[in-house]
Amino acid sequence: MTTAPPAHVAPRLPLVRVLDTGRLDVVDHDAPLAPGLGAEGRRAAMRAHLGVVLAAYDDVLEAVATRVDEVEDGLLDERTESFRPLHAALRDVAVVQRCLRRVGHYVAEHDALADASSLRPTAVPTRSGEAVRWADLTDRAASLRAALRDALTIHAAVETERQNDELRRLSEASLALGRETRDVSRTGVRRAEESKTISSWAAILFAPTLIGTVYGMNFEHMPELGWVGGYPLAVGAMLAMGVGLWLAFRRKGWL
């Protein structure tokens, strides 16, 4: 069960202020009333209290509207990657709306008391100037929140497009790297085949070179040099070794 405020103190209302750091600060604001005020004097003091609070909200909404403009301008800047001001502005508008709802309850009670004390009651409740100001502030806050929701949607779309572009760039780079890898692999295979061919022919030519080198030493005692069939034997050995090696390498696929 809630207790009513003392008769000489107006109910506390949430008051939002803009700090030097740019953040919003919420404090409870009350207006002491002089003892002995009549009903009309008390209502006048309450109206003055509401006027101070609503004027403060007007200034706060001006500051928040400036931030919203900065957010919308930043959405068009391609260099903007991390957009924290958007989330900060959403938080500020939510704080203002939450506090305005509390003030709205007090405005409704104030108008109800004014209607109850009126000498000419009417079927339709009257709407005070404070109620009109409160409704205007509420509409402005709702408009700012709608603008920020649109900005958040645009920001999400821009971020999605940016991420898609980054993924496309990575995919293209990966494809290019794959092509380079395949080219390098093909070059390696081709060089390996060339190396096999060169090695095979080097081995084939090494056999007659070896025989020719041995019999080109001109030692004094080399019986084969005096043989009648020595020359055909040496040439035949060269051909036999060369052909044999060629067939062996051919079978392995090196030639």
* pLDDT, tens digit only, all 255 positions of the chain: 444 444 444 567 888 888 777 788 888 777 655 566 666 676 777 777 788 888 888 888 988 888 888 888 777 665 555 577 888 888 889 999 998 988 888 788 777 766 555 545 554 455 678 888 889 999 999 999 998 888 888 878 878 888 888 888 988 888 888 888 888 888 888 888 888 888 888 888 887 887 777 777 777 777 777 777 777 887 888 888 888 888 888 888 877
CB 117 within 8 A of CB 43: yes
Half-sphere exposure of 210 (CA within 13 A, CB side): 11
Domain match, 43 and 161 both: yes
Domain match, 99 and 201 both: no
Domain match, 45 and 170 both: yes
Alpha helices in the chain (DSSP H): 39-75, 84-116, 129-215, 230-252
Domain match, 33 and 113 both: yes
C-alpha 158/C-alpha 165 separation (Å) is 10
What 3-state class would DSSP assign to 13? strand
Domain count, the chain: 2
Domain that holds residue 158: 13-176
Residues 6+ apart with CB under 8 A from 112: 125
Of 116, 146, 176, the residue at which a domain comes to its end is: 176
Domain match, 145 and 211 both: no
In a domain, 1, yes or no: no
Question: Measured in whole angstroms, how far is the alpha carbon of residue 220 from the centre of its chain?
Answer: 90
Domain match, 195 and 109 both: no
- What pTM, to 2 d.p., does this model score? 0.56
Domain match, 243 and 146 both: no
In a domain, 184, yes or no: no
**For the chain, how big is the Rg over CA atoms in Å?**
49
What token pair was written down for 160? 């999605």
Q: What is the CATH number of the domain that holds 115?
A: 1.20.58
